[in-house]
Structure 1
Amino acid sequence: MQEDQQRLAAAVKGKKVAFIGAGVSHKTLLRQFCGMGAAVTLCDKKQLEEFGDYAGELRELGVNLSLGEGYLAGLASQDMILRTPGFEYYTPELQAAKAAGALVTSEMELFFEYCPCEITAVTGSDGKTTTTSLIAAMFEAAGRTVHLGGNIGRALLPILAQVRPEDEAVVELSSFQLISMRRSPRVAVVTNVTPNHLDHHKDMQEYIDAKRNILLWQGEGCRAVLGYENEVTRTMQADCRGSQCWFTRLRETDNGAFLRADGMLCMAEGGAVTPVLAQGEVKLRGLHNIENLLAAIAAVWGRVPVEAMRRVGGSFAGVEHRIEPVRTLDGVQWYNDSIASSPTRTIAGLRSFGQKIIVIAGGYDKNIPYEPLAPELLEHVKVLVLMGQTGPKIEAAVRACPGFAASGLVIEHAQDMAGAVALARAAAKPGDIVSLSPASASFDLYPNFEVRGRHYKELVNAL
């Protein structure tokens, strides 16, 4: 057992530890913590019979159970509580337990505390998964062992014993993970901050403050990479405790990664400008992905050879559900951009195409305004197929937008994804592009955007 794993074991041995929820990572950690001598309690809304075969393992492990309607009563008198990112930090029962002396933490927070290697972390409203994946790919191209986790990849605390000091941990962090963080990574990237998750955060300021937490615990020797073109991330420069640099595709900078006027992606540091690769060599589609690549270059600068960055930039084809090509049928190209769960993500996707397209949009309402999306839909969309809770809100914003009557935009409504795909196919002619780009979360019809995207792809591939 590595020294860091031993320190974790010593910290939990004999302690009363509650886990909120029995998700995939918590199931592994439940076994691990029981093996380290903790008195473990599982708090879950489910009743025991709903766990199926897992109920037997819980009995074998001797886990205390606090289940059903009053499951949060199990938080009382705990020494340590691990919450999932989806469980809101400011829930009264959790805050009461914290006030009574419990350490409220999470799988990711404990990993940050005990991880023996350097951590690079990415947050933001848009682009964080692609940026995180690019950073990981650049380290791998340089021959490093990478542990990818957080909001993507796998839970990292269960593999703590496998992590060596010379490795690299690369993590994506959501606002839900960051809201209670009390440690920062060696390198922190904030891509942008735009309205999102306002159905969970009490207001926009709480959301911004959660994102800022990635920077607040840095110190000398740390680096912060901030998006210059976003007003919120630009102001975060005041929060930086170590070195700081920018990334931008709209102007040149003497401190960070930028897109030069001649189309070359460059890095400027210490008075020197180093070309990395030409925009024409980048395999990813869309100007927003140029920004993601610039952010990744700035994040790994000085730790990865330029040649490794160039190879990744020229070969990285993207991440599933992010302007993902699905198929070409009867001359019509179909794309899956299910990750576009906010207006800003949808706008970035729309701008990736050089023609007016057919868009399927709508879904769960996160209380985000759709007025900024409306003019982009008029400019980039010829047929808009709407579905879900937000369909009427998107239509209202579009119809109220100046220029709607003259735009020629056709608006259709569907009851579900199958109906939306059918309407899009009926409207499409050879040469057209159809994209699922919902500008909304998935939770009205699907458990997450991945399930939504895969269902869409199944329907399109069955045409």
Structure 2
Amino acid sequence: MFPPRANDYLGLRITVMGLGHFGGGIGAVRFLAAQGARVTLTDLKSAAELSESLDQIAGLSLEALRFGEHREEDFTSADLIVASPAIRPDHPCLEAARSCNVPVTTEIGLFWRHCPAKVIGVTGTVGKSTTSALIAHLLQSAGQCVFLGGNIGGSLLDKLPEIGPADWVLLELSSFQLMYLNAERRSPRVAVVTNFHPNHLDWHQSLEEYRHAKQTLLRYQTPQDVAVLPTDTEFVNWPTNGQRVEFGCDVDGPDSVGVTRSGLQLHLGDAIEAVHWEHTRFRLSGFHNRLNEAAAVAAAVAAGVAPQACAEGLRTFRGLPHRLEAVGEVGGVQFYNDSKATTPEAAIAALRAFDRPLIVLAGGSHKGADLSSFAAELAGRAKGIALMGETAPALVQMINATAAEHDAKAEDSAAHSRSGAPPEVHLASDFRDAFSWAVSQAHAGDIILLSPGCASFGWFRDYEDRGCQFRFAVETLRS
């Protein structure tokens, strides 16, 4: 049973499965406890591992705390389950709950059910966070009230009393969250898909399952809704009843936003408007960010922002940490933190953003993605590569195998910074070793780029920890 109002949880037995470190579980526990629910929190991790998160719910009156295990009776005897989206929906405890007609949702599903505002949802393999933050910035710059949440900005459950029907809520949504939302048949007023590449195949059972999850963002839209999609043929058959708006390079058809050499060309409804910019005036590097800007403008216009107001918003957007973030210059060497590049496609986009000699810190834990294109790009564009983590042995083999072929095919000698010489490759023993080696290879005018193309787990807690360690290393070098 789902209460029709947010204040109707009094006395209900609710099991929160997975506290985690990223705010969703914490937000759910706080919200439900404040409504008087009888909350049981269960997590496979120990209390010591969750100490920072537990500090944030200290003092709340909870029915039970379970660590190191999940008990089936906590699921079958509950009135509602709020699961971490990192846990697959077919987990045996969740299946047991459903067999007893106990509804299962997530923190996002809980929020959406009680949210009075219009929702903009953003998903995609890469570019979600930058595009989400940029859309929110464009709306705020135009004077609209917007709340940013989902995978970015933390839980919005505690903001429900502040959110009204005239506001916008912007949710960055992962495939994990969307798998749960599919069961609740939820799609947003404005849906934005940045791109689609194979990812998380260590979690999803197939590429088709991953695609089906992403398509949830569109599946339950109505004709009054808007779907902002890339022009790629991949998206032709993605299901939506909403109005399609396409974005991409040199797109000039109806209902589209095209990226041109001079700016954006908007064909929306009966209006044709150009939003021009000088690329050097913007803080975001790389062509992939031009596409993110096009998607963001399409979404903002769908939400009522005038195109020229979008142009002004683009000029004032500062970007996000860990996403091609310029973190300093030492001895004429520039350092960029792109730790959020956890997929090969994201790292490839970062490599293509620069036309100066690159020394790259790459590699990490494996998510099942094909790394061959990333290895080829490293071989063709980097003069030095420090390889890290689980994927390092495979990457070094692929780099060595493709370096000569890449040399023969390189067309852009300016971008091909190694001038025909094979890259120096170093298998790092730890992050300090990787960073020190990269610095030893660099000269004035070079760029040292952290763009791993892989997940962070193993050497780091998460991508933020990896990026912060890179920042700290640069600061230490500077001092």
Q: What do you get for the CA RMSD once the two structures are aligned?
A: 2.3
Is the CA contact (8 Å cut-off) linking 1:252 and 1:259 kept in structure 2? Answer: no
Which residue number in structure 1 is paired with residue 322 of structure 2? 321
In the other structure, the counterpart of 2:269 is 270
Q: Are the equivalent residues in 2 in contact too, given 1:20–1:81 (CA < 8 A)?
A: yes
Q: Contact conserved, 1:283 with 1:313, CA < 8 A, in 2?
A: no
* Equivalent position SS for 1:131: helix
Structure 1: segments with no counterpart, 5+ residues? none
Give the distance between the partners of 2:448 and 2:223, measured in 1 at CA: 48
Give CA deviations for 1:338-385 in whole Å, capped at 9, x if unaligned: 011110001100110013311000111111111121221222111111
Return the match for 1:445 from 449, 456, 459.
459
Instruction: Please tell me the residue identity of whatever aligns with 1:440.
Output: C
Alignment of 1:268-307 (within 5 A): 268-280=267-279, 281-302=281-302, 303-307=304-308
Give 1:45 deviation, angstroms: 2.1
Alignment of 1:116-265 (within 5 A): 116-181=116-181, 182-229=185-232, 231-236=233-238, 239-260=239-260, 262-265=261-264
1:98/1:391 CA distance change after superposition, 3 Å: same
Given residue 195 of structure 1, which amino acid in structure 2 is its aligned partner?
P
Return closer, same or farther for 1:379/1:299 CA change in 2, 3 Å cut-off.
Answer: same
User: Counterpart of 2:468?
Assistant: 454
In the TM superposition, what is the alpha-carbon distance from 1:60 to its structure 2 partner?
Answer: 5.9
1:365-407 Cα deviation digits (max 9, x unpaired): 1111111212212221111110100111111222222526865
Within 1, Cα distance between the matches of 2:373 and 2:95?
A: 36
Q: Does 1:78 align with 2:78?
A: yes
Query: 1:5 deviation in Å?
Result: 9.9
CA distance in 1 between counterparts of 2:56 and 2:406 reads 60
Q: Structure 1 CA distance, aligned partners of 2:328 and 2:235?
A: 37
Deviation at 1:55?
8.5
Q: Deviations over 1:47-93 (max 9, x none)?
A: 56776695897786142233323445522222211112222222122
Deviates more, 1:63-72 or 1:86-95: 63-72
Q: Quickly say closer, same or farther: Cα 1:339–1:46, change in 2 above 3 A.
A: closer
Distance 1:117 1:337 in 2: 33
Structure 2 residue 312 is the aligned partner of structure 1 residue 308:
no
Q: 1:375 to 1:441 in 2, by over 3 A?
A: same
* Maintained 8 Å contact 1:192/1:227: yes
1:6 & 1:205 partners in 2: Cα distance?
Answer: 34
Instruction: Please state how far the C-alpha of 1:212 moved relative to its aligned partner.
Output: 0.4
In structure 2, the partner of 1:14 is: 11
State the aligned residue count: 455
Which is worse superposed, 308-317 or 384-393? 308-317
Is 1:121–1:185's contact at 8 Å kept on the other side of the alignment? yes
- For residue 86 of structure 2, give the secondary structure of its aligned residue in structure 1: coil
Q: Is the 8 A contact 2:363 2:452 kept in 1?
A: yes
Local SS of the residue matching 2:372: coil
**C-alpha separation between the residues in 2 aligned to 1:309 and 1:42?**
44
Larger mean Cα displacement after TM superposition, 264-273 or 415-424: 264-273
Offset at residue 255 of structure 1 (A): 2.0
Taking a change above 3 Å as real, the CA distance of residues 115 and 91 of structure 1, as seen in their structure-2 partners, is same
Structure 1's 62 and 240: CA in aligned 2 closer, same or farther, altered over 3 A?
Answer: closer
List per-residue Cα deviations over 1:264-294 (Å, max 9, x = no partner): 2121123532111225343311100000000
Instruction: Tell me, yes or no, if the aligned pair for 2:356 and 2:445 is still in contact at 8 Å.
Output: no
The alpha carbon displacement at 1:30 in A equals: 2.3
**1:366/1:440 contact within 8 Å kept:** yes
Q: What's the CA shift string for 1:27-60, capped at 9, x where partnerless?
A: 3432432342322211122456776695897786
User: What is the TM-score normalised by the length of structure 1?
Assistant: 0.92
With 21-30 and 338-347 compared, the bigger mean Cα shift is at 21-30
Report the AA paired with residue 233 of structure 1. Answer: F
Evaluate the alpha carbon distance shift between residue 379 and residue 49 of structure 1 in structure 2; reply closer, same or farther with a 3 A threshold.
closer
Q: 1:30 aligns to what?
A: 29
Counterpart contact for 1:255–1:268, Cα < 8 Å: yes
Match of 2:94 in 1: 94
Partner of 1:420: 434
Cα distance in 2 for partners of 1:330, 1:71 equals 57
| Aligned position for 2:412 | none
Residue 307 of structure 1: how far off its partner (Å): 2.8
SS at match of 1:344: helix
Aligned to 1:66: 66
Identity %: 35
Distance 2:465 2:151 in 1: 16
Work out the CA distance in 1 between the residues paired with 2:338 and 2:60: 43
Are the aligned partners of 1:355 and 1:380 in contact in 2 as well (CA < 8 Å)? no
Structure 2: runs of 5 or more not aligned: 408-419
What whole-Å deviation, never above 9, does each CA across 1:238-277 have from its counterpart, x for those lacking one? Answer: x0112111010244333211123x5221211235321112
| Aligned residue type for 1:43 | T
C-alpha distance in 2 between matches for 1:408 and 1:70: 52
Q: Which residue of 1 aligns with 2:415?
A: none
The 2-side partners of 1:48 and 1:339 are apart by 28
CA 66–212 in structure 1, closer or farther in 2 if over 3 Å, else same: same
In 1, Cα distance between equivalents of 2:56 and 2:176: 31
- Please tell me whether the aligned partners of residues 29 and 57 of structure 2 are also in contact (alpha carbons under 8 angstroms): no
What is the CA distance between 1:104 and its match in structure 2? 0.8
Contact 2:376 2:398 (8 Å CA) reproduced: no
Q: Contact (CA 8 Å) 1:256, 1:268: kept in 2 or not?
A: yes
Is the aligned partner of 1:429 residue 2:438? no
| Residue 372 of structure 1 pairs with residue 356 of structure 2 | no
